[in-house]
Structure 1
Amino acid sequence: MSSTTIGTGHVSTAAGYNSILDRANSAQAVVQRFLASAGVPALRVSLGLVFLVFGALKFFPGLSPVEALVSRTWNVLSFGIVDGYAALALTATLEVFVGVALVTGLLLRIGLLALAVTFVGVFSPLVFFAGELFAAAGPTLTAQYILKDVVLVAAAMVIAAKAFTRPIR
């Protein structure tokens, strides 16, 4: 075993250093196990709360900052059949369902499928209204509002990967 005299006159050994590293690794393993077990459920519930709250806002005219955009997007996607409050109510219902499924874990696979459909609607304005959403100076505030949903897609992918590890019954 090697030893080294340090500035205080005490002798430090490699074994003492290794002991500290072993304790640090043990502590890290405990933290890692906690994060592995709690991380995905926390992500699922927090994503669910986002959809639950933002969906609920759409039930009440004047509360959602994207009302006009939702209505216009549905109008384009439905070839003019769905518009106005009907578009908001459909979006609100879909988002609230997704939120409840994610928060409770009930009907999770169906909720994740509904979430995938929701993301089509969320990103559609970037295609349909690109001229309005991107100015010479860059993306407008509305475009930024939409683009940040890329993070929500990544979160949904992690949740789906975990949910799909269980067999379908």
Structure 2
Amino acid sequence: MSTTTIGSGRTSTASGLDSVLDRANSAQAVVQRFLGRAGQPTLRVSLGLVFVVFGALKFIPGASPVEGLVSSTWNSLSFGIIGGYTALAVTATLEVLVGLTFITGVFLRIGLLALAATFVGIFSPLVFFTGELFTTAGPTLTAQYILKDVVLVAAAMVVGAVALKRPIGRR
């Protein structure tokens, strides 16, 4: 057995260090199991809350900072058929529906499909309104608001991967 002199002048044996490392590894395993069990459901519910809150704001005129953007995007996507409050109401309904499926876990696959459609709408302004969203100084605040949704896409991918493990059918 080897010994090492430590700062206090005491000697430490390799087996003592191994014991500390074993306890640290055991503690790490406990934390990893907890994160493995709780992480994905927490991510799913928190993603759902984000969609419920941001969707609900769109039902209230003047409450959402992206009202004009939502209306303009729907106007572009629908070739001028949908705009104004109708665009906000449709977007709000879709986002709240997605959020509720994520929070409850009920009809989650349908929520994931609706979320995919929502992301098309969320990122469309980057294509339709590039000149308005990016200036010589960089992305505008609205562009930054859109670009941060890349994190939501990543979170949705994790939720989707877990949700789609189960076969489709009755429980």
What TM-score, normalized to structure 1? 0.97
| Equivalent residue pairs, number | 169
Question: Which aligned segments of 4 or more residues in structure 1 are displaced greater than 6 angstroms?
Answer: none
Question: How far 1:8 moved relative to its partner?
Answer: 3.7
- SS of residue in 2 equivalent to 1:58: helix
Structure 2 residue aligned with 1:167: 167
| Cα separation, 2, equivalents of 1:90 and 1:33 | 40
Question: How far 1:7 moved relative to its partner?
Answer: 4.5
Structure 1 residue aligned with 2:85: 85
Question: How far 1:144 moved relative to its partner?
Answer: 0.5
Structure 2 residue aligned with 1:148: 148
- SS of residue in 1 equivalent to 2:59: coil
Question: How far 1:3 moved relative to its partner?
Answer: 1.9
| Cα separation, 2, equivalents of 1:60 and 1:7 | 65
| Cα separation, 2, equivalents of 1:115 and 1:10 | 61
Where do 5+ consecutive residues of structure 1 fail to align? Answer: none
- Closer, same or farther in 2 for the Cα pair 1:7/1:78, shift >3 Å? closer
| Cα separation, 1, equivalents of 2:9 and 2:143 | 63
| Cα separation, 2, equivalents of 1:154 and 1:7 | 46
Question: How far 1:6 moved relative to its partner?
Answer: 3.5
Question: How far 1:9 moved relative to its partner?
Answer: 4.2
Amino acid across the alignment from 1:95: E
Where do 5+ consecutive residues of structure 2 fail to align? Answer: none
- SS of residue in 2 equivalent to 1:62: coil
CA RMSD of aligned residues (A): 0.9
Structure 1 residue aligned with 2:34: 34
Which runs of structure 2 are paired with 1:79-118 in the superposition (5 Å)?
79-118=79-118
| Cα separation, 2, equivalents of 1:20 and 1:103 | 41
Question: How far 1:2 moved relative to its partner?
Answer: 1.5
Cα deviation, 1:74-104, whole Å, max 9, x if unaligned, reads 0110111111110000000000000000001
Identical columns (%): 76
